[in-house]
Structure 1
Amino acid sequence: MAYDLQKEEEVKEFVENLGIEYRFGCYKEKKPEVCHLLGDYLEAIKKDFSKAGKVFKNNCLEYKYGKSCLKIGNYNLIGKGLDKSDTQEALKYFEKGCELNEPTACLHAGLLLTGSGPDSKIDRNVPKGYDYLTKSCEGKDANACHYLAGMYLSGVPKNPKEFNPHKPEKNKNIEYLIKQDYMKAFEFAKSGCELGNMYACANVSIMYKKGDGVEKNLELSKKYFEIAQNLHKAHELTKELKFQQGLDEDKK
């Protein structure tokens, strides 16, 4: 049946039928990718975050679908569809998603384990977190590559409280889990840039300009600066378009 999506009644019918198809594909045919679509449908169309969370959780644990592990991990992280947030539970699902080769789940697990915020309820484990971030970067997650570059640019102290980013000379005698290494920082920054992270491109530009971790090259510095600028413009345009769409929706 062809739907006229300009007509409100036919749009409603299309959306309802979509939900029926997703339920059939998930519960009867037991297709993990369709179960994930059902979760997305319950989240985005029905705004039923509690049911969506249950679908994502089941799809992660029963059908071992990495993207659903990432979703339910995010739900636990912010308390979406739940009574409260649970960072430790979120980490469990991120690690599960990473085992199932979902790069962004690896990223989130790595960030939680390498974090050192005062409100963090996760025991800091930099080596384990580093492994997750590396797997994420190798899985082509640009943010993971950028974060790893940052770890090598400044180094990762054993005791974060001893580290003073504003007075580098005071950091020379503290113990590091990951020592500053501009060559590795450059490698990860370049990978992040190639995957589309504008901040990674900016770092590559600066490192070429200064000759940090790579031979100084002003021409390449300019090239990567322009790439960073273009990515920034594209990012701003996308935000503007989404904002305009929101305004258009409000007018309806």
Structure 2
Amino acid sequence: MSVNFQDEAEVKQYLDNIGIEYRFGCYSEKKPDVCHLLADYLESIHKDYEKARKVYRSTCDDYGYAKSCLKYGNYTFIGRGKSGSKPNPAEALEYYEKGCKLGDSENCLNAGLLLVSPKMNNRRDFMRGMEYLTKSCDLNNGNACFYLSGLHISGAEGPIASKETQPLISSTESSSPKSSVVKKNDFIVEKNMEKAFTFSYKACELNNMYACANLSQMYARGEGTEKNAEKAEIYKKKAIQLQEDVKNSKQLLFQQTS
């Protein structure tokens, strides 16, 4: 069906028809992907965030649709779509974890970032956060790989939720000089440039421009790998090209919406 997008009435009719199709596909045919599209439609076309929030939640809870878990988690994290609603990181985490268990890398990334964040207060669990970040990276999420590389470049530490939980990387029994000053049961990520290089390399291969810039510096300085001026230049050029690609895509989007 061809639509004259210069005709306001025709465009309105077209959008109304899409809404009818999405409602039928969701409520009558019970298709999770269409329910998610319906929520996107309510969000972007009607700006009805309250209804969109409800559809995202039910699509996650009733159908186990990971993208809807992510969207509902985002809504609760910022307190969107419900009158008087306040940001609720704890509920957001619940839905990010649910989406991560369904194999979605973005949910794993968000769950990991929340759990290592000081904003979680007594719900903070550095070890579990690292596990989610690692799973996200394993699922080829370049942002997660980049974040992990940064943690290994500087080293990091944070609480473990349970005394019975055994850390995967290291604990206060580590030989690290930090061990004597961190709290008991803290989870420690040792500074490790070899691991930082590995994560940076993967993140760069997944087109994370910041990781490519770091990779260039590692090759230039011989940190985590042997010095290699030629490779340093290659990854510097890749980082610059990725940055240009981002600028061009933003300009194109602006032109399309102006």
User: Does TM, scored on the shorter chain, surpass 0.5?
Assistant: yes
For residues 95 and 131 of structure 2, the distance between their equivalents in structure 1, rounded to whole angstroms, comes to 16
Distance across 2 between alignment mates of 1:105 and 1:87: 13
Amino acid at match of 1:85: P
The 1:2–1:157 alpha-carbon spacing in structure 2 relative to 1, beyond 3 Å, is closer
For the pair 1:136 / 2:129, whether they are aligned, the reply is: no
Instruction: Give the 3-state SS of the residue equivalent to 1:196 in structure 2.
Output: coil
Q: What's the CA shift for 1:114?
A: 1.0
Q: Is the counterpart of residue 177 in structure 1 residue 188 in structure 2?
A: yes
Query: What corresponds to 1:215 in structure 2?
Result: 226
Structure 1 counterpart of 2:111, from 109, 127, 131: 109
Task: State the alpha-carbon separation in 1 of the partners of residues 178 and 158 from structure 2.
Answer: 8
Distance 2:139 2:52 in 1: 26
Instruction: Write out aligned runs for 1:1-252 (5 A).
Output: 1-82=1-82, 83-116=85-118, 119-121=119-121, 123-158=123-158, 173-175=177-179, 177-246=188-257, 248=258
Q: What's the offset of the Cα at 1:158?
A: 4.0
Give the C-alpha shift of residue 7 in structure 1: 2.0
* In 2: Cα distance, 1:70 partner to 1:209 partner: 39
- Go from structure 1 to structure 2 and tell me whether the alpha carbon gap of 1:51 and 1:122 turns closer, same or farther (over 3 Å shift): farther
1:125 positional shift: 1.1
| SS of match in other structure, 1:6 | coil
How many positions carry a matched residue from both structures? Answer: 233
Q: Give unmatched runs, 5+ long, in structure 2.
A: 160-175, 180-186
Aligned to 1:165: none
Question: Is the 8 Å Cα contact of residues 116 and 158 (structure 2) preserved in structure 1?
Answer: no
CA-CA distance at 1:237 after TM superposition: 1.8
User: Partner letter of residue 19 of structure 2?
Assistant: G
The alignment yields a C-alpha RMSD, in angstroms, of: 1.5
Which amino acid in the other structure matches residue 174 of structure 1?
K
Which one-letter code corresponds to 1:216 in the other structure? K
Query: What TM-score comes out, normalization by structure 1 length?
Result: 0.88
Shift of 1:173: 2.8
In structure 2, what is the Cα distance between the partners aligned to 1:233 and 1:4?
34
CA distance in 1, matches of 2:239, 2:17: 43
How far apart, CA to CA, are the structure 2 residues paired with 1:121 and 1:114?
10
Could you state the TM-score of these two structures normalised by the residue count of structure 2? 0.86
> 1:232 Cα deviation (Å)?
0.7
